Amino acid sequence: MAKIVVVTGGVVSSLGKGIAAASLGLLLKARGLRVTIQKLDPYLNIDPGTMSPFQHGEVFVTDDGAETDLDLGHYERFIHASVTRSHNVTAGQIYDSILSRERRGDYLGRTVQVIPHVTDEIKRRIHSLSLMTEADVHIVEIGGTVGDIESLPFLEAVRQLKLELRRDVIFVHVTLVPFIKAAGEVKTKPTQHSVKELREIGIQADILLCRSEAPLDSDVREKIALFCNVPTEAVISATDVKSIYEVPGVFHDGGLDELVVQMLGLPSRDVQPPDLAAWSAFVRRVTHPGRQCEIAIVGKYTHVRDAYKSVIEALIHAGAANDARVHLRWVESTDVEQQGAAALLSDVDGICVPGGFGERGVEGKIATVQFAREKSIPYFGLCLGMQVATIEFARHVVGWADANSSEFDPSSEHKVIDLLADQAGVTDKGGTMRLGAYKCALREGSLAARAYGQPEVEERHRHRYELNNKYAQQLTSRGLVLSGKCVGRELVEIVELPDHPWFLAVQFHPELKSRPQDPHPLFRDFVRASLERRRARLGDDVFDATNETSIERAEA
């Protein structure tokens, strides 16, 4: 049975529980342990698939087709392992399962209650994942903030786990120690109250990760330890950093992984010192790059950076692979419609159009593609970015002025993008798109094949519409290269232009499979092409240390 580390958060939301859980997973894995990480979300949706990006940010898709919380992307990137639908549990899934059983009569007439039925189902899903993954350490992150009413069943379930498993369960609480400028000092009271709320539920925190602007001095740590009933060494500073990839190093320096190993009673003979050499080398490339370029992200949700979380991270990985920092210029596609692409994009080194749903801003994306194509700016389209690239080509190269997607104009005579056949008649919105991993065969000698370095790949999908094969021959006759097709189905996955410095668009979401030490090859080559354009355009791509607008800062 796996040892369990429960990660909770207090005081305010968005303190970085997901990054904390992922960083701990990385450190324990670097010690030779088998690690898995699970997210328990207290909202009543079955999954985030039907939520607005403005409310929930990115939907992260797994190989097995689950639409999950974006924190699962952090898990995959930090522990370099693929997760499944079992790694994300929502209150909606728990209640849906229980109520289905009640309707079938499985409870034999008994009253169905939060305790024991809801809590038992939560514990069952934790134990099930532990057994399935054969992990040594199972990290469980509970979404929300301690004190939220919807989190109570999950907290009660893990309280019971502690009672049942004793030393095999520990609690790591992420909290805030704010610096009050007027007083000129940090304040520990929010942390004290947060830990007090946990204790009222029946949970005693074992380790505190204290978010702060600067490292906490020994007096502050001792005060927190005294009032929160933990050893001083268990009060660990989680100081602000420029890059999330620095967090594991901060935690290791604070002794987090060593403390967890000790508290869980893991035999020392089974645990090696952490090997962080490769990770540290990656972090150095992120924080001290030699070159730079600027890439425009032309999207529909640019005011909510989390909507493009995996795209941002994939560009960081690709930048590090090219010893470069990628500055991001966030461009709302509706602004392109109003101001024109030239006004907003003429001085960038590359353009990326990511995914999205709905008609708003689509014409701005199409104008963006036309500008990139005609001005020879490296272009990378993701999902909807591939569809608008096809529409733009059909309109301005083939000459079909009304070319469109049936999603945006069902009356168009040239629906070059159309609904998948198996999507016709679908009324339920949740979990019904083409989801998960599919194999893609690459055209020999194509830009995509050269980037991947292999004839067949597997990528993750999340969409309802595809390139309409009815128009494939006419599009290719005018120069559009269909360089990737789904294995076993005549579905176009990749389009590109041969007479262009770098123009490639994909129907899938390659950003979901990029890793810090294994950057996605398409992102890597896109950034390389953008660097080449910058050098050709300006004669220099050396990183300017006076411009500290890193991706992380731009994201804020």
Residue 22 contacts residue 78 (beta carbons within 8 Å) = yes
- The helix or strand, by DSSP H or E, that contains position 520, with its residue range, turns out to be none
Give the span between the Cα atoms of 322 and 526, in whole angstroms: 10
Among 493, 509, 520, 552, which one carries the catalytic annotation?
509
Backbone angles phi, psi at 99, to 5 degrees: -70, -35
Neighbour tally for 399: CB within 10 Å: 10
Neighbour tally for 278: CB within 10 Å: 11
Produce one character per residue of 423-457: b if its CB has 16 or more CB atoms within 10 Å, e if not.
eeeeeeeeeebbbbbbebbbbeebbbbebbeeeeb
H helices of 270-415, in order, are: 277-287, 309-321, 333-339, 341-345, 362-374, 384-393
Record the tokens describing residue 128, joined without a space: 């099930």
Neighbour tally for 4: CB within 10 Å: 23
Cα 501 from chain centroid (whole Å): 29
Residue 520 contacts residue 492 (beta carbons within 8 Å) = no
For the chain, what's the residue count?
A: 556
* Amino acid type, 208: L
Give the span between the Cα atoms of 368 and 346, in whole angstroms: 10
Give the span between the Cα atoms of 510 and 310, in whole angstroms: 9
Residue 503 contacts residue 379 (beta carbons within 8 Å) = yes
Among 313, 459, 466, 511, which one carries the catalytic annotation?
511
DSSP code for 515: B
Among 383, 407, 493, 520, which one carries the catalytic annotation?
383
Cβ-Cβ contacts under 8 Å for 269 (sequence gap 6 or more): none
Q: Is 511 a catalytic residue?
A: yes
Q: What is the DSSP string of 446-503?
A: SHHHHHH-SSEEEEEEEESEEE-GGGHHHHHHTT-EEEEEETTS--EEEEE-SSSSSE
| SS3 of residue 428 by DSSP | coil
- The burial class, CB within 10 Å (0-12 / 13-18 / 19+), for 115 is exposed
Radius of gyration of the chain (CA): 25
Closest CA to 76 of 47, 45, 38: 38
The residues that are catalytic are: 383, 509, 511
